[in-house]
Structure 1
Amino acid sequence: MQSQKTYTVDEALKKMEHFCSYQERCHKEVAQKLYTMRMIPDAIDHIMVKLMQDNFLNEERYAKAFVSGKFRIKKWGKQRLTRELKQKDIGKTLITMALQTISDHEYLNTFHALAEKKAESITETNPLKKKKKLADYLFYRGWESHLVYDKVNELF
């Protein structure tokens, strides 16, 4: 059986600084990583505090980066973004603040472009099945139901 490497607090801190500087991280991800490195709870707390003091770890910055990236790249709607951030234990206030970084104009333009592109790619001939496929796709991406239903009815 192979023994797992153990880390001193300083080694773990350096490793986590690198982990956080490479990509924005939330508290939950860092704590899980430290746990898998077999750090004791006191050491995890100490390292987390140090990372926050040195600005390697910042939930507000994380939430904004997450929302911006997932919205622009994966074209997720606000409901999916909210759900994913809640799973990462991000607070309601920070989620609201991060979602406000998306302008209403950009949000709606992205939604319409995504819906129209998907509608063109659906090969289904039955109009009801076609509507359902588009609606399911947009709901999975986290777009609000009133937007989805209006768009589906407009397109088909």
Structure 2
Amino acid sequence: MDRLILQKAASYCAYQERTQDEVKQRLKKWNVWGDEADEIIAELISMNYLSEERFAKTYAGGKFRIKNWGRMKIRQELNRRGLSTYSIEKGMNEIADADYVAGLRELLAKKRSLLSKTETDPFKLKHKLARFALGKGYESELVWKELGEL
């Protein structure tokens, strides 16, 4: 195993949390394939530079707090990145139920204040708010429940 490539990969992982797939893609760019790539990834995991669970927690928490994404969108994205079900569940546990509902309420309130300037029909307003929240990845039952309370 090439020590220089391992160092490069370690600094790549130290910069921000990565998935094994992302590291594999980067290794391919550096012309490292097959068993050697698997060896480097195993070494990064043993040195604690690479952790799927830590990635899932950071990703889920960040997307929820910063981008106001819902659980469905976060779970879908983690799935797309090839994380294990266990890691995805650990990541989803980062989002507390109370914070989740509060986040949705805040999101709907902000969007409502923007839309109410242009949309006068309350039915259309509700529909636009629902579509917006669903697009952010919130569950439809929760969205409609919160819209009913608005």
- TM-score of the superposed pair, with normalisation by structure 2: 0.91
Match of 2:12 among 9, 19, 37: 19
Per-residue deviation, 1:95 = 1.1
Match of 2:22 among 8, 11, 29: 29
Match of 1:110 among 103, 106, 115: 103
CA RMSD in angstroms comes to 1.5
The one-letter amino acid paired with 2:23 is V
Runs ≥4 in structure 1, deviation > 6 angstroms?
Answer: none
Identity of aligned residues (%): 37
Quote the Cα distance in structure 2 between the aligned partners of 1:40 and 1:116: 50
Unmatched tracts of structure 1, length 5 or more:
1-7
The one-letter amino acid paired with 1:92 is T
The one-letter amino acid paired with 2:140 is S
The one-letter amino acid paired with 1:50 is E
140-149 or 34-43: which moved more? 34-43
Unmatched tracts of structure 2, length 5 or more:
none
42-51 or 122-131: which moved more? 122-131
Which SS does the other structure have where 1:124 is aligned? coil
- TM-score of the superposed pair, with normalisation by structure 1: 0.88
Match of 1:54 in 2: 47
Q: Is structure 2 residue 2 aligned with structure 1 residue 9? A: yes
Which SS does the other structure have where 2:120 is aligned? coil
15-24 or 144-153: which moved more? 144-153
The one-letter amino acid paired with 2:120 is T
Which SS does the other structure have where 1:153 is aligned? helix
Match of 1:80 in 2: 73
Per-residue deviation, 1:100 = 1.4
Quote the Cα distance in structure 2 between the aligned partners of 1:108 and 1:153: 14
